[in-house]
Amino acid sequence: MPITRRDLFKASAAAVAVSQLAEARGLLVEALLQSVCAAALDAAKQAGASYADVRIHRRRNESVHVRDDHVESVGDVETYGAGVRVLVDGAWGFSASSRVQPKDVRAAAKTACDIARANAKVLASKVVLAPNPAHVDVWQTPLEKDPFKIPVADKAELLLDLTGELLGVPGVKFASASLESRLEWKLFANSEGALIEQSITRMGPSYAATAIDEKTGEFQSRAWEGQARQGGFEVLEQQNFRGDARRVGEECVQKLKSPSVGELGRKHVILHPSNLWLTIHESVGHPTELDRALGYEANMAGTSFATPDKLGKLKYGSDLVTLYADKTTPGGLATVGYDDDGVRTGRWNLVEKGLFVGYQTTRDQAAWVNEPASRGCSYAQDHRSVPFQRMPNVSLSPGAKDLKVKDLIAATDDGIYVTGQGSWSIDHQRYNFQFTGQMFHEVKKGKVTRTLKDVGYQQNSIDFWNSCDLLGGASEWAIGSAFDDGKGQPMQSNPVSHGCPVARFKANILNTKSKGGA
Nearest to 342 by CA among 364, 367, 316, 368: 364
Fold annotation for 5-257: PmbA/TldD fold (3.30.2290)
Strand pairing category for 478-487 and 447-452: unpaired
Q: Which amino acid is at 91?
A: A
Is residue 312 within 8 Å of 356, Cβ to Cβ? yes
- Give Cα 260 to chain centroid, integer Å: 33
Look at the chain and count its residues.
Answer: 518
Note the pLDDT of residue 142: 95
Note the pLDDT of residue 300: 86
Is residue 440 within 8 Å of 420, Cβ to Cβ? no
**Concatenated DSSP letters of 407-462:** HHHHT-SEEEEEES---EEE-TTS-EEEE--SEEEEEETTEEEEEEBSEEEEEEHH
Strand pairing category for 219-223 and 172-190: unpaired
* d(C-alpha 399, C-alpha 502), whole Å: 10
Note the pLDDT of residue 79: 98
- CA end-to-end span of the chain: 70
* d(C-alpha 198, C-alpha 337), whole Å: 8
Note the pLDDT of residue 34: 86
pTM value? 0.93
Note down pLDDT in tens along the chain; length 518 residues: 333 333 333 334 444 454 444 444 444 457 789 899 999 999 999 999 999 999 999 999 999 999 999 999 999 999 999 999 999 999 999 999 999 999 999 999 999 999 999 999 999 999 999 999 999 999 999 999 999 999 999 999 999 999 999 999 999 999 999 999 999 999 999 999 999 999 999 999 999 999 999 888 899 999 999 999 999 999 999 999 999 999 999 999 999 999 999 989 999 999 999 999 999 999 999 999 999 999 999 988 899 999 999 999 999 999 999 999 999 999 999 999 999 999 999 999 999 999 999 999 999 999 999 999 999 999 999 999 999 999 999 999 999 999 999 999 999 999 999 999 999 999 999 999 999 999 999 999 999 999 999 999 999 999 999 999 999 999 999 999 999 999 999 999 999 999 999 999 999 999 998 644 44
Is residue 257 within 8 Å of 439, Cβ to Cβ? no
Directed axis angle between helix 152-167 and helix 245-257, to 10°?
Answer: 40
How many CA atoms are closer than 13 Å to the CA of 296, on its beta-carbon side?
8
Strand pairing category for 195-212 and 439-444: unpaired
Q: What CA–CA distances, in Å, run from 257 to 176, 212, 218, 253, 260?
A: 21, 10, 10, 6, 9
Beta bridge partners of 500: 478
Beta bridge partners of 482: 496
DSSP 272: -
* d(C-alpha 435, C-alpha 421), whole Å: 8
Question: Which residue ranges make up each domain of the chain?
Answer: 5-257, 265-511
Note the pLDDT of residue 15: 44
**CB atoms closer than 10 angstroms to residue 302:** 17
DSSP 49: -
**CB atoms closer than 10 angstroms to residue 307:** 15
* d(C-alpha 82, C-alpha 26), whole Å: 24
Note the pLDDT of residue 28: 47
**Concatenated DSSP letters of 189-257:** EETTS-EEEEEEEEEEEEEEEEEE-TTT--EEEEE-----EESSTHHHHHTTTTTTHHHHHHHHHHHHH
Helix (H, G, I), strand (E, B) or coil at 164: helix
* 309 CB burial (10 A radius; 0-12, 13-18, 19+): exposed
Note the pLDDT of residue 22: 43
Note the pLDDT of residue 147: 97
Note the pLDDT of residue 18: 44
